[in-house]
Each structure stands twice: as structure tokens, then as C-alpha cells.
Structure 1
Amino acid sequence: MKSKEFIQGLIEYLKNNLIIPDANFLKDRIKFKKGKYVYGEISFSNSRTFEGVILHLYAYNSEMGNFFSQNVPPYDKSSNPYDLVFVQPSISQAHFFKAPPITSFPYGDTIKLPESENDAKNIYPDVLMHLQQNHIPIIMAFHSGSKEVLKYLSLYPEAFRFKALTAIYIINKNELPLNDPLIQNILLFDKKVLENDNGLFSKHDLIFLENSFDQKLKQQIMQ
């Protein structure tokens, strides 16, 4: 089965079975919109390198984008729009994290193309289940600015452009105390990076980088 046919079939299945009012289904992607503003996107594309269909997830938040644009770290070199707050391909992984799976079938991060439409019909509902369990909750957490964003920050820090700024924004928005488990998790993550017991971490992996900008933000949390 060709990738184009599979993706078209998958999108059609999702269109008929994913009941979310904000979801707009295009030929190879789903866009989540409130009015004209796109706050999330899930796209599918074929990868020759990974021999199958992979997923890209994008989350946007205009309020966070405004906050970031007013507090740009001196080390930021990206040209992406400030409201693009989370980007993660399904193949993203390192020794300390792995993007959520998109299918139960091997290998999880890639959908191996089925031989026929009948075979594809077994895959479509499995992908839907994973989107509902893993990917859509990420988009919705960013859309609402909920404290769950901190959970994803400690799980997938590399998907964030502004790790420290995201932490301070979410903590302030949700008025979280220092002893909140989600705050403690991101602090424990940085402690693990600095201890580097497995020798595989680098200081680039820190949520609060070792520079004056990030450390000042960290002190705001610790007060």
C-alpha cells in the first residue's frame, strides 16, 4: 500500500471517529482551531529513513507567545514564531526520553505501511487510540495553559523552545506552590542532569540552563 493512500485512509477514518469540534481534517494533517487561530496540529508524512509513516505534533498558544516575545532569552537563535511552544516528531528520542508511540505495532514511533486496505483497517483504530491517549492531551494542555504542561516539560524537555520561560509562565498562571509535585519533578530532573550518574547527560539538557537569565527565573520559583 502506498503511503499517500494510507494517509488518506487514516485521515478519513479519523474524520469519522475523532469527535472534537475544533478539529479540521486536511489531506495529511489535523488542525485544531478556535476561530481562525490554529492552536494545534498533527501531521503525517512518509519517511524513507524510518521506512513508514511518522507523526509531527505542534502546539501553539498566543498568550504564551506574547509572554515569550517580551522576555526573549539572549541565547535564543530560533526564527520560529513565539507562539509555537511545543514541537515533537514521533521519532524523537534520547537516552532519557522517548516521544509517545503512535501505534501498538512495531516499532511504535513509525507506522509500517500495510500491504492492503484490509490490513490498514486494523491500524486506523489503533492510531486513533494513541492520538486520544497521548497526543491530543498534549495539545489541549497547551491550549488551556494548564499545569499539565509541566508534566510534559519534565518528560520531553527537548520539545520546548523556551524551557525555563515555559516553567515560570505555567507556574504563575496556575498559582502553583513550590511543593507542587509537578514543580518538584522539573527540579528533580535538573538535579539528575547535574549529577549525571550515567555519564550521558549534558548541561544543554537542563530545563534551567546555567546562565544568568535562566537562573534568575529559577530563583523566582524558589522564593
Structure 2
Amino acid sequence: MASFENKVIAVTGGASGIGRAVARECARRGASLALADLQEKALQQVAEELKSQGTKVTTTVVDVANSNSVDAWIKATVDHYGKLDGAANMAGIGGDDKIFRNITETENASWDKIIGINLAGVFYCMRAELRVMKEGAAIVNAASIAGLAGRAGVSIYSVSKHGVIGLTRSAAKEMGGRGIRVNAVAPGPVQTPLLDKVLDESGGKGKPVADTHEYLAISRLGTPEELAKTFVFLLSDDSSWTTGSIYTVDGGAMC
């Protein structure tokens, strides 16, 4: 297991779900952390937990859909720590009750919101991170199995995650010469507040998401901790010859 001693890792969506699990795993390996989220109270709770274990942590309330907010956070991170060695871009939303609609029924506001956070947000984060990263740095983005295939009724979310995969692969090509790696993880259904919210707000319309036992080879939801290990592997030196890859961790949903 590669150590993260003397490494600075930025994590968006660090207040809950897989993002929080990634932060905890990075801390366990010795990293200093810059955590960002919109949930200020939950973010502070994570920071206090990690600080009590001896981890250096900064927290910032960041709206990833706002490029100025992202740029200010990354600048503050480098000003504080002096560098940025890795980043896990985890922030994202599943949508609201209007996400589970066909393309012809999709409203502009839903499109703007989901694309703004899930796709533009990852772009803004990557751009800011790559501008300050040096050779040996690594980025891992949160994609989804919805970004690997079409799925009726979740077109906006699917488009946003297809876009994350495209950004990841393009950035890997662009940054290889600088010695910076860029990868993504495509999770299947994971027991997180995001999934709970999607299922609750879908009013049962999200049947492909809800009926997990019908299409998973391993007939249960994944856990944030299981996913975090793959994200952290891709941030670590153990994956030093891995870039532009999309790791599917989905309980066999796509097999």
C-alpha cells in the first residue's frame, strides 16, 4: 500500500458518501487534505474527525459549478500547503424528481443544473488543479456506469457522466508529457446519501436504479469504503503507469 506521507490531496464532495470515504482513506495513508463541499456543517464534522487522528485538513465551502469558487479554493490550497499532489473530483448530483424523464420531457433548468455540477464542475476543478500541479501528480474523477452506456429516462445524468469520461481521457493525453496522470472510476449503485436522495425524489420512476438485485452479479449495493480503495489506488504511486483509464467498480452490473 503506497504511502501518502508529504502529499497534499484535494477532494471535492468530501462531506459525505464516497468523497468522505476517499478523504478518510487518504488520511489513513498520511496525506494532508484540502476538502471542499457545499455542506458546511458536515464538512466541518469530517475535518474534526480527521484532525483528531492527526491529519492536516483545510475545509472550504465550494460550489463546483462556479469557476471562481473553484479557482479560489485551489489557490488557497496551494497558498496554504505550497503544492498540490493529487485531486479526487467527487462532487456530483443525481438530480431531482425531474431527472427521470425522457429527453422530450426534460426541462432546461434540469439540464443546466446537472450538467453544471457533474460536468462543468469537473472541468473547472481539473483546469484549476492542472494549472498548479507538477510532474508526478494525479487526478481521479467520479464517473458512473451511466457514462458507459445509454439508459432510458436518465439522459441528463448519463450525458454528464459520459462527458466526465471524455474529459478524463482527453486530459490524460494532454498531461502525459507533463508526467501527470488522469483517471476515472465508474461506480455502480453505492449506498450513499446521493443514491438515497435519487430514489426518494424519483417517486419510483428510477426503476433501473432501484431494482439493483435484478442486474448485479454481486446482489447488494456497494459501500463508499469499497469504492474509495479504487479511487485512492489511482491517486497513488501504485498506479504509476495508469492513465486515461476508466475503472468500473459496479458489482458486476456491466459484465
Normalised by the size of structure 1, how large is the TM-score?
Answer: 0.24
Q: Higher RCO, 1 or 2 (CA under 8 Å, sep at least 6)?
A: 2
